[in-house]
Structure 1
Amino acid sequence: MDMQVPAQTGRDASVLEHRRLCKIASSPHAYVRGSTARFYELLARMPAGALPEGPPVWICGDAHLGNLGALAGPDGQIDIQIRDLDQTVVANPAFDLVRLALSLVTAALNATLPGIVTARMMDAMADGYADGIADPEGAERDIAESEIVATTKRRALGRRWRHLSRERLKGKAGRLPRGSRFFDLDADEHAAFDALSRDPEVRRLVLALGGAASDAEIRLLDAAYWIKGCSSLGRLRYAGLVEVLGGDRPHLALLDVKEAVPHLAPAAPGAAMPADHAERVVAGARALSPNLGDRMVAAHFQGTPVTVRELMPQDLKIDAEQFSRSEAVRVSSHLAAILGRAHGRQMDGDARRSWIAAVRAPGPGPDAPGWLWTVVTDLMGEHQRGYLEHCHRIAREDLTRG
């Protein structure tokens, strides 16, 4: 792994890598989330035709359960959309559906739900995804709403800056709390972050979201290296706290600066995409998750492409590590419909109809499962084996360290 983090206390490359590997080992579901490269390696080994070839559209590329959640729109509306587009690419939409199905099924097994529930979840995902494609502008009116999704939206609606401040700033006024997550920048990094905060596009982003006047002053209060997430550990990740002076009263904004990395999913042949990885991520976000894409810009930090977005208090991931039998089916259908709408918005009528037919295609015989079941169950076996082997390696490394 190409580690681009300077060897500073708390930011040493080997320490971050070990931390990432331990996070992946915490559960089978965490392993699925943190092994995107392995996912695409296994898909590439499958026989030709195992997955149907859908119309090339922008896909998430890593549409696991943790990457869907509540996102605040510019009008204050809360929508459930894809919230992480690091791996976005123009490609076969089947990749996203399989990735989401594998994630949900693994979560169901973590919750010790029986196999018959898994079968119903898979059917619900195929139907919900197809319904989302058929009506991409629909307001989920024909979908049995998941209580997990509804609860996430209710929580997001009630959140304000003080909630984000309590979580991220830990009560610190005008400063990011140093410790296990935030670390000091060196002089060059701090100068680069200061320049980034004055970038015209970043300035426009912050002022637009805060509703401040175009001539308002933006002042950088603090910036730090940020240890966050799983797949991003070992990559450049920074947080910046800025104050916007203007309007009725000053207000604070928290910026998330994240290294843009190459995509892992194979792109569709001849796909037209920005060559710059950060611009690619922003383009994919605008196509798939308008609430996020409208408040994200592409930039460069010391020569590395990065995306910059303002974190909003209403942005919440879906917490669905545990769910009941009935809720497992509802949340599978609901999230698959959201994914289907993100894909369907990019297709014309003929493409939607042909892709829906491919998604719903039955197996070769009256009792044979469809392609989604076959692909996901094959992947489940490989990931379970990979998870145990991964845990065995971690256990041996820990014995060696001890």
Structure 2
Amino acid sequence: MTDPLRKLRPFELARWQRQRDGELMRRMPVLLARKQSRMSTSPFAFLRGAAPLFYRVLQNAPRLARGPEDEGLLCGDLHLENFGAYRPDLPSRRDRVVFDLNDADESFFGYLHLDVLRVLTSVLLAARGWGCAPAGGLELAGALLDGYRRGRGRGRPAPVPAPVSELLARVGARKRRELLEKRTVAVGDRRRFRIGDNFLRLSRATRTACARAFRRFAAEQAKQSGHPPERFSVLDVAFRVAGLGSLGRFRVAVLAEGHGTVDGAWMFDMKEMAESAGAAFATHPLDPGPARVSNALRTLLRSPPVMLGTVRALGRGLLVRRLTPQEDRLDWMTIRAEQRAPTLAFLGGLTAAAHRRCARKPPGPLDVADARRLLRNATELAGIHEAVALAHAAELQHG
């Protein structure tokens, strides 16, 4: 007799995740070990590193994916670590640094509530790591959901909470030198990437191909931004090790001339983009490559990141963006317990604002019954992911 729950068995799903990561990083065993180690630190970390598994669970248990049928462009991988501070493309005197969603790698066009389902699941899992009892975790997830409902209904937005305003003040004071000192070494009057944990060497042929692709991006940026072309002259190229879910994708960092001094260099990220993890739930086809992500960032966000573009190199579509010292996230472990709920409500409001910008038609208010169903389904998904995270860790321990 066929087991109807087999597709949701924790060890079955953990093996699927291991096999998928192994295939993706078969030529990069160092990165595979790093990803597996980081995913094993907590169920929340496991969720962050396993967006495709989240959608696989929804395919295997379709009832958990049900909800309002408002369509639009989704983030696709919405969780607490995918909100953060960054420098916008057109900063104002008031908004030199902004706080918003900051990742659209898995964006797709589908039902908007799937973003809410994933971020609620992330809150429930993260709350366990903060030492919250189950009831406390549900209250925190409810705070985010309340903020989202207010935003969907165009109610008064939640005020900017202290942890966010403090983060913006802190990162707004950072200088380019701080970023360069962490990631590069000075060699005479030039800088080179610091090879080690965050940057790996590339073959000469790969460096040359990436530099050539970057120059195409730079030519377009020079026209758009008005910066002299020489500011984009390439100083160094290295493989970049960053992120969790994206580990294993081709990703390089480019160091450019910038302002022409040892502390004036600019850094850029060039990351391979493939089909969205949520593509099976798309209601409208989108280009699988970097144009999908670039367009999503320009649509979802009130202020897209500085110097954003796309190129092709070595047969891959790459998303290019400038790295700035202002990029940072909230440190949830240091946020006081009484500040978590208002901060989560604020994130819910940001999510609703993004959905209003990218919806096929203006979404109506989220009613109480739909909100309760989303929280109930997120609770079940959190339990599944916690069990799979344990199975994944056990599989790694025993080989």
Q: 1:270-309 alignment to 2 at 5 Å?
A: 271-273=284-286, 275-292=287-304, 295-309=307-321
C-alpha contact (below 8 Å) 1:212/1:244 kept by paired residues = no
Structure 1 residue 343 corresponds to structure 2 residue 355: yes
Distance 1:100 1:269, change over 3 A: closer
C-alpha contact (below 8 Å) 2:110/2:283 kept by paired residues = no
Give the TM-score normalised by structure 1: 0.84
Matched residue of 1:174: which SS?
A: strand
Given candidates 151, 172, 190, the residue that maps to 1:132 is 151
Matched residue of 1:52: which SS?
A: coil
Matched residue of 2:258: which SS?
A: strand
Distance 1:130 1:149, change over 3 A: same
How many residues align structurally? 373
Query: 1:241 offset after TM fit, Å?
Result: 0.3
Partner of 1:243: 257
Q: Partners in 2 of 1:177 and 1:258 — Cα distance? A: 19
Summarize deviations over 1:72-127 as a string: whole Å, max 9, x none: 12225222111111101111111111111111221111111123322322322222
Query: 1:385 offset after TM fit, Å?
Result: 0.7
Q: Partners in 2 of 1:323 and 1:107 — Cα distance? A: 13
C-alpha contact (below 8 Å) 1:3/1:234 kept by paired residues = no
Summarize deviations over 1:280-316 as a string: whole Å, max 9, x none: 1111111112533563111111111110111122121
Partner of 1:169: 184
Q: Partners in 2 of 1:269 and 1:191 — Cα distance? A: 37
C-alpha contact (below 8 Å) 1:281/1:307 kept by paired residues = yes
Structure 1 residue 203 corresponds to structure 2 residue 224: no
Distance 1:284 1:21, change over 3 A: same
Partner of 1:389: 391
Stretches of structure 1 that go unaligned for 5 or more consecutive residues are: 364-368, 398-402
Matched residue of 1:244: which SS?
A: coil
Query: 1:45 offset after TM fit, Å?
Result: 2.7
C-alpha contact (below 8 Å) 1:299/1:305 kept by paired residues = yes
Query: 1:258 offset after TM fit, Å?
Result: 0.4
Partner of 2:41: 26
Matched residue of 2:257: which SS?
A: strand
Identity %: 23
Partner of 2:276: 263
Q: Partners in 1 of 2:344 and 2:259 — Cα distance? A: 44
RMSD: 2.7
Q: Partners in 1 of 2:367 and 2:388 — Cα distance? A: 30
Matched residue of 2:106: which SS?
A: coil
Partner of 2:174: 159
Partner of 1:194: 211
Q: Partners in 2 of 1:266 and 1:186 — Cα distance? A: 33
Give the TM-score normalised by structure 2: 0.85
Partner of 1:94: 113
Stretches of structure 2 that go unaligned for 5 or more consecutive residues are: 1-19
Partner of 1:400: none
Structure 1 residue 14 corresponds to structure 2 residue 29: yes
